[in-house]
Structure 1
Amino acid sequence: MSFYLTEEEIQQMRTNGYIGPFDLYERDEILEKYKNIRAKMFDRKNAAYDLEHTSVVSGYDRHLDIDALSEHVMNPIIVNKVNSILGPDLICWRSEMFPKYPGDEGTDWHQADTFSHASGAPQIRWPGESDFGGAITVWTALTDVSEEVGCLCFIPGTHEEMYYDESKDMEYTPDEVNALEKDGVKRGFFGYDYRNLQKDPSWKPDESQAVPIKMKAGQFVIFWSTLMHSSLPNITKDQTRLGFAARYVPAAVDIYPDTDSVTEYGSELSLEKYGVVSVSGERNDSHNRVLDESLNGFSFKR
């Protein structure tokens, strides 16, 4: 079976910068996966990065060592829909786990083109002369996601213009991670102030156009990383929100060019064990290390 976007959905994606939510897992299935994944998040013996589980980046690239997530990033329901946007030759170059615990702040408005905002150097480089690329993010809800627990918010149509300059410096100040309150909403960016990257210091996102993305456990939404997006705070007392983001680009895109390590959020990540996953079409080994299997032995061969 194929699961490609319809022409109408492709047009919606072009216009708004996002599409969905779509159903992926039955409720009982995703809640069982959630229990399994959450337990294995604390086991880092095969993880790509040698970090404490409390680190901000400890949730990076766990599709490389947790089988349920390895299988997830290759799911044809996801892959075919992203094929509709990016073409047949596709790689998953990063994944991130996004927990939001009771009382946690929201995430401030931001965009990502080269993903150099925290590391100081481009993490992805599209071929040719274009200096505007980004990635497709597939954000899957592992728990129910309401406004109260801190759902994603998008500003439709903002994906074709960068309002931030990712080459600017942002100072990492983890003590201030919970100190930013903007327009009455408790928001930060994991120890950074994203406003420091604004091209126009006086500019503000038009929050009157913001759309909250409420999702059921087992659903996913697709959006360009260059789309203005944020999340609300978790104002509940006893509900944890958990989302898993997988990021895709065409196989021709150069990943972590000219570096063997990445520094983000106060941690340095060695790329010794890292590799991209070819999820569809032709693989390109000329500039990226393509993994045949995960660090846990899960086969990525198709």
Structure 2
Amino acid sequence: MQDTRTQGAFAMTPEELEGFHARGYFGPFKVYEIDEMRAMWRRERLRLLDRSHAVYQDEAAASGNTNISNYDRHLDSPFLADHISRPPIVDRVSSVLGPDVLCWRTEFFPKYPGDEGTDWHQADTFANASGQPQIVWPEAEEFGGTITVWTAFTEANEETGCLQFIPGTHQTMFYDETKRMHYDPNKINNQEKGGVRRGFFGYDYRELQIDPDWKPDESKAVSMVMRPGEAILFWSTLMHASKPHAGLTDEMRLGFAARYVPTKVRVYPGTDEIEEYGGRVSLERYGSVLVAGHNDNPHNRMATATTTGHPFVTR
């Protein structure tokens, strides 16, 4: 018997699920109206400048000098705390992962005028930068990864640096995450990769390739053009990248990625810190958020409210 807890108003239909399993992504779909998203972001971006309640207060994160500064602001921002539990998102995530779901990480992905594109990449355990697995599925599971819901807070199009996917690549890993990439914060990566100027936040993702001579087939790439308030749902193991920001507008492209796993997955096992992008932050104040169902996994740190006392909603 199908678990009716997965049947919210925005649950994916059998046809939508079939397409998702074939392609590795679903959407775009609407989370907010365009004007609503624009108004909310004008307000919230000013509030997010205040990091006094952020869970990561270490120097590297607080200074904004590493990508870690963009992590997990849902743990202090009421707006982002509510966003990760919105029914248009959680209902669809639960359609894929089942009724018991955690949000274990969120990240901002800004792209400013003139910024390079992001390298093609996949993520299974998210050990790609540190060498330390950040999520671990039960041994009985053949494959892992996370469901990412990437919401456009601004225009995301061919000119501002939208996401790109290579459909159907989510069931084969082309990278070995047990390798270590070498971080160089001063690296300016202007190499033309497949005719596009791409990099990876101070890393070269090609260092993780299982076959050093392999290249992604960019002829099969599709661009995810999204208006403000739209989102796309995809497996982190799907080959994905982004285009450069052409600089034809002064507005940055901003995406907000929320990452989800079933409660049976272990989050940050055996570690009390995140080490990557040249920074190191403590997980002392971190907690995963139950966004749907029940949690019977005693191994994960959990948060029931933001650091400012705003309660998380469980669907």
TM superposition score category, shorter chain reference: over 0.9
Partner of 1:300: 312
State how 1:239-258 maps to structure 2 within 5 Å. Answer: 239-258=251-270
What is the total number of aligned residue pairs between the two structures? 302
Correspondence 1:52-201 to 2 at 5 A: 52-130=63-141, 132-201=143-212
Q: CA deviation at 1:294?
A: 0.9
Tell me whether 1:283 sits opposite 2:295 in the alignment. Answer: yes
Q: State whether structure 2 residue 266 is matched by structure 1 residue 266.
A: no
- Displacement of 1:186 in angstroms is 1.1
Listed as ranges, the gaps of 5+ residues in structure 2 are 1-7
For 1:174, what is the secondary structure of its paired residue? coil
TM-score normalized with structure 2 length: 0.93
Residues 1:4 and 2:6 are matched in the alignment: no
Q: Is the 8 A contact 2:130 2:180 kept in 1?
A: no
Confirm or deny that 1:23 pairs with 2:30.
Answer: yes
Q: In structure 2, give the amino acid aligned to 1:25.
A: Y
Q: Percent identity?
A: 54
1:38 to 45, 48, 62: 45
**Aligned-partner SS, 1:28:** helix
Letter in 2 for 1:234: H
Q: Which amino acid aligns with 1:298?
A: H
Extract unaligned runs of 5+ from structure 1: none
Distance in 1 (CA, whole Å) between partners of 2:115 and 2:44 is 21
- Alpha carbons 2:32, 2:230 under 8 Å: kept: yes
Q: Is 2:116–2:190's contact at 8 Å kept on the other side of the alignment?
A: no
Letter of the 1:133 counterpart: G
Instruction: Indicate if the aligned counterparts of 2:274 and 2:283 stay in contact, CA closer than 8 A.
Output: yes
Is the CA contact 1:142–1:244 (under 8 Å) kept in the aligned structure 2?
A: yes
Whether the aligned pair in 2 keeps the contact of 1:105 and 1:234 (CA below 8 Å) is: yes
Aligned to 1:203: 214
Distance 1:31 1:18 in 2: 25
SS of the residue corresponding to residue 98 of structure 1 reads strand
Contact 1:169–1:197 (8 Å) recurs in 2: yes
More moved, 283-292 vs 72-81? 283-292
Answer yes or no: is the 8 Å Cα contact 1:42–1:53 preserved in 2.
Answer: no
Provide the C-alpha distance between the structure 1 equivalents of 2:188 and 2:238, rounded to a whole number of angstroms.
23
Distance 1:290 1:97, change over 3 A: same
CA deviation after TM superposition for structure 1 residue 177, in Å: 4.0
Name the CA distance, whole Å, in 2 between partners of 1:128 and 1:117.
Answer: 20
Structure-2 separation of matches of 1:250 and 1:112 = 16
TM-score (norm 1): 0.97
Q: CA deviation at 1:295?
A: 1.0
Rounded to whole Å, the distance in 2 between the matches of 1:301 and 1:30 is: 20
Q: Which amino acid aligns with 2:271?
A: T
Aligned to 2:244: 233
1:95, 1:19 → 2: CA distance? 19
Q: Bigger CA drift: 28-37 or 79-88?
A: 28-37
Structure 2 equivalent of residue 13 of structure 1: 20
Distance 2:113 2:81 in 1: 28
C-alpha deviation, 1:285, in angstroms? 4.7
The answer to whether the 8 A contact 2:75-2:81 is kept is yes
Q: Is the 8 Å Cα contact of residues 177 and 192 (structure 1) preserved in structure 2? A: no
